[in-house]
Amino acid sequence: MATLRFEFVAQDHIVFQGDVNMVIIPGADGVLGVLPRHAPLMAVVNPGEVMVRQEGKPDQFFVVGGGFVEVKPDKVVLVARSGESAEAIDAVRAEAAMRRAQEFLASPDKERDMDRRIAMEASLRRSTARLKIARRHGGRRDGRPISGYDTTGSESD
């Protein structure tokens, strides 16, 4: 089966690098499914789930904090603000970030600092995506793996 090279690079580390059969990325205009020999394109990437399929291996899931992707027929490069595997997501940290962002956005004086408001809206999108992926594909809560995580704070093992 044909493959293409996939490189997922966050600001401070390489999230994934390898030959894949397919990659699915949350584009700003919809979900992008990329197979070998895909037409070249560049796109904005929204916070959300990245799925990687490799022959003979279980699908791998990652969270992306937004960025952009360049697709070539034999290579895909995803450059992102942040990214991590589903198993590495710290649900407690993501939940705390989500609460901080929600509290700020609910405050009456949020209009005064537009830059902070924009940053908090982005933080809310990233933390919501992280919690959704942790719930679906595993993650960590208090240093332990979780299975089935409810964003209200309860676990369902």
pLDDT at 33: 96
- pTM for this predicted structure: 0.74
All domains of the chain in start order, with CATH: 4-85 (2.60.15.10), 87-142 (1.20.5)
Q: What is the pLDDT along the chain (157 residues), one digit of tens a residue?
A: 799 999 999 998 999 999 999 999 999 999 999 999 999 999 999 999 999 999 999 999 999 988 999 999 999 999 998 899 988 888 888 888 888 888 888 887 755 677 888 888 888 888 888 888 888 876 555 544 444 333 333 333 2
Q: Find all residues with CB under 8 Å of 55, minimum gap 6, and list them.
A: 1, 3, 21
